[in-house]
Structure 1
Amino acid sequence: MKTHRTIAELIEVIPDAALILNRNNELVMVNTMLTEMFGYAQRRELLGQPLDILLPEQVRAGHAKHVAAFFNSAQNRPMGRGFKFVGERKDGSTIYVEIMLSHVDFDGEHFAIAFVRDATSLKVTEDKIRRELEHERILAQTDHLTGVANRRAFVAALDDEIHDLRDHGLEFAVCFIDLDDFKKINDTHGHEMGDQVLQQIAHVIESTCRANDLVARIGGDEFATIHVGATLQDAMTALERIRERLVHEFAEHDWPVTLSMGICHCNDPQQHFEVATILRAADKAMYEAKKQGKNQIKIAHVAAV
C-alpha cells in the first residue's frame, strides 16, 4: 500500500535507526541502520518477528508489559527522556541503546515508532566516570599511608553512630590509641621505618577488630576505633586484645613503643552526645593513661549536655 511505502522510505532516510511495532509486539518495519546496528544482514530477518528478538532473554517478559503500557497511554517518550536498556545483537552480544517512542496511526491502525540510538559508548563513559568518582570518594576517606579510614571518615561514622543511638538505641564505643615514645623510632631508624611501623600497627588493629568496627588513623601516631553495638565490656575485651597483639609485635621487632588508650562508651539514647564531646572525652582518657604510666586503657566519662 502507498502509505506503507511512504513510511518505509521515510524511516530509511532519517539519521537514526528506526523500527515500527504493532500492538502484537511484532516488528512491521525496520530500517537498514537498525538492521546493521543489531548485526543482521537483511531486514527480512527481523520483519514479523516479536520485539523479543532484539532483547536479552532475561528482560523479555518485563519489556512486553512496558510495550502494552505504552500502547494504552497517549504519552510519547522523546529522546533524552526516553528508555534506555540493553539490546541483544544477532550474535548474542549486547548493546546499550536509547529510544524515542511515538504513537502513529497508519490506515486506521495504531503502531509505535521507535528511533534508536547506540548508547554503548555513553554507557561505557558513564560507568568509567562512576568508578572514578567512587574511587575518589574512597580516597577522600582513606588514610594514604596506612589504608585505614582517615579522620574525615571517622568523624562521619561517629556522627552516624550518634544518630543510631538516639533513634534506635544502638550502643557503641569509641577508642583513642596513641603510641608512646613513637618519636624514638623516627629518631633512631628514620621516617621510612616509622611509616612501616604505622602501617603494621594499622594492619594489626584492623585484623583484630570485627568486620563492622571502624579503624582510622586520625593523625601522626594516633589511631581511633569505633566498636558498633559493643557493650563497655565487649569494647574493653577488644582493646585489650589489640594491646596484647601490638605489645607482642613491638617486642618481636624490638620497637621501643607502647600504647596508651582512652575509651568512651555511649549507651544512653536520652543523653545528648556530640562528636566533639565524645572525641574530647576519649582523648582526655588516653592522656590520663599516658600520665599514669602509659601502656594501659582508661575509661572516659562524657558529661551530660
Structure 2
Amino acid sequence: MKTQRTIAELIEVIPDAALILNRDNQLVMVNAMLTDMFGYSQRRELLGQPLDILLPDAVRAEHSKHVASFFNSAQNRPMGRGFKFSGQRKDGSTIYVEIMLSHVEFDGEHFAIAFVRDATTMQMTEDKIRRELEHERKLAQTDHLTGLPNRRAFVEALDNEIHNLHEHGLDFAVCFIDLDDFKKINDTHGHQVGDEVLQQIGHVIATACRANDLVARIGGDEFATIHVGASLEDAMTVLERIRERLVHEFAEHDWPVTLSMGICHCNDAEHHFDVARILRAADKAMYEAKKQGKNQIKIAHVAAV
C-alpha cells in the first residue's frame, strides 16, 4: 500500500536504525541500518519474526510486557530518557541499544516505530567507570598493609549491625584486640619486620573467625571484629580461639608481644546503642584486660541511656 511504501522509504533515509512492530510483537518493517546493526545480511530474515529474535533469552518475557504496556498507554518515549536494553545479534553476541519509541497508525492499524542507536560503547564506558568507582570505594575501605577492612569500613559495618538490631532484633558482638608491647618488634627488628608481623596477625585473626564475621585493622597495632548474629557465648568461643592461636603464634616466633581483648555484646533492640558508645565500651574493656595482666578477654557493658 502507498502508506506503507512511504513509511518504508522514510525509515531508509533517517540516520538511525529503525524497526516497526505490530501489536502481535512482530517485526513488519526494518531498515538496512538495523539489519546490519544486528548482524543480518537480508532484512527478510527479520520480517515477520517476533521481536524476541533481537533480544537475549533472559529479557524476552519482560520485554513483551513492556511492548504491551506501550501499546496500551499510548505514551511515546523520546531518545535520551534512559530507555536502554541489551540486544542480541544473529551470531548470539550482545549489544546495548538506546531507543526512541513512537506510535504510528496507517490503514487503520496501530504500530510502534522504534529508532535504535547502538549504545554498546557508551555502556562499556559506563561499566568501566562503575568498576573503577567500586575499586576506589574498596580501596578507601581497605587497610593497605593487611588487606583487611579499615576503620572506615568497620564503622560502616557496625552502624549497619546497630540498624539490624533495632529493626530486626539481630544481636551481634564487637571486639577490640590490642597488641601489647608491639613497639618492641619495630625497635628490635625494624618496621619491615613489624609490618610482616601485623600481616600475619591479621591472617591468624581472620582464619580463626567465622565466615560471616568482619575483621578489620583499625589502627597501628589494633584490630577489631564484628560477630554477626552471635550470642555472647558464641562470640566468646570465637575470641578464645583467636586468643589461643595468637598466643601460640607469639610463642612460636618468639615475638615479645601479648594481647588484650575487650568485647561488647549487643542483644537488646530496645537499648539505645550507637557506634561511639559501643566503641568506648569495647575500648574500656580492652584496657581493663591490660590492667589485669594481658592475654585475656574482658566483657564490656554499655550502660542504658
TM-score tier (shorter): over 0.9
**Long gaps (5+) in structure 1:** none
Question: Is 2:212 the counterpart of 1:212?
Answer: yes
Q: In the TM superposition, what is the alpha-carbon distance from 1:4 to its structure 2 partner?
A: 2.3
Deviations 1:229-286 (A, max 9, x none): 2222222221111011011111111211111111122222332222212211211121
Q: In the superposition, relative to structure 1, how do residues 94 and 162 fare at CA in structure 2: closer, same or farther (>3 Å)?
A: closer
Q: In the superposition, relative to structure 1, how do residues 52 and 164 fare at CA in structure 2: closer, same or farther (>3 Å)?
A: closer
* Conservation of the 8 A alpha-carbon contact between 1:82 and 1:100: no
Deviations 1:146-193 (A, max 9, x none): 111111111122222222223333222211111111011101111011
Q: Distance in 1 between matches of 2:18 and 2:291?
A: 78
Q: In the superposition, relative to structure 1, how do residues 293 and 85 fare at CA in structure 2: closer, same or farther (>3 Å)?
A: same
State the partner residue of 1:106: 106
Percent of residue pairs bearing the same amino acid type: 86
**Long gaps (5+) in structure 2:** none
State the partner residue of 1:120: 120
Question: Is 2:286 the counterpart of 1:286?
Answer: yes
* Conservation of the 8 A alpha-carbon contact between 1:19 and 1:31: yes
C-alpha RMSD of matched pairs (Å): 1.6
Q: In the superposition, relative to structure 1, how do residues 286 and 36 fare at CA in structure 2: closer, same or farther (>3 Å)?
A: same
Q: Distance in 1 between matches of 2:244 and 2:237?
A: 11
State the partner residue of 1:181: 181
State the partner residue of 1:40: 40
Give 3-state SS (helix, strand or coil) of 1:192's partner: helix
Q: How many residues align?
A: 305
Question: TM-score with structure 2 length normalisation?
Answer: 0.94
Question: Is 2:52 the counterpart of 1:52?
Answer: yes
Q: Distance in 1 between matches of 2:82 and 2:170?
A: 44
What aligned pairs does 1:27-176 form with structure 2 within 5 A after superposition?
A: 27-81=27-81, 83-176=83-176
Query: Which portions of structure 1, spanning 4 or more consecutive aligned residues, are displaced by more than 6 angstroms?
Result: none
Question: TM-score with structure 1 length normalisation?
Answer: 0.94
Give 3-state SS (helix, strand or coil) of 1:87's partner: strand
Question: Is 2:1 the counterpart of 1:21?
Answer: no
Q: Distance in 2 between matches of 1:58 and 1:303?
A: 53
Q: Which residue identity is paired with 1:166?
A: H
Give 3-state SS (helix, strand or coil) of 2:73's partner: coil
State the partner residue of 2:242: 242
Q: Distance in 2 between matches of 1:4 and 1:163?
A: 61
Q: Distance in 2 between matches of 1:65 and 1:166?
A: 39
Q: Distance in 2 between matches of 1:146 and 1:264?
A: 24
Give 3-state SS (helix, strand or coil) of 2:47's partner: coil
* Conservation of the 8 A alpha-carbon contact between 1:155 and 1:275: yes
Q: In the superposition, relative to structure 1, how do residues 271 and 67 fare at CA in structure 2: closer, same or farther (>3 Å)?
A: closer
Q: In the superposition, relative to structure 1, how do residues 234 and 68 fare at CA in structure 2: closer, same or farther (>3 Å)?
A: closer
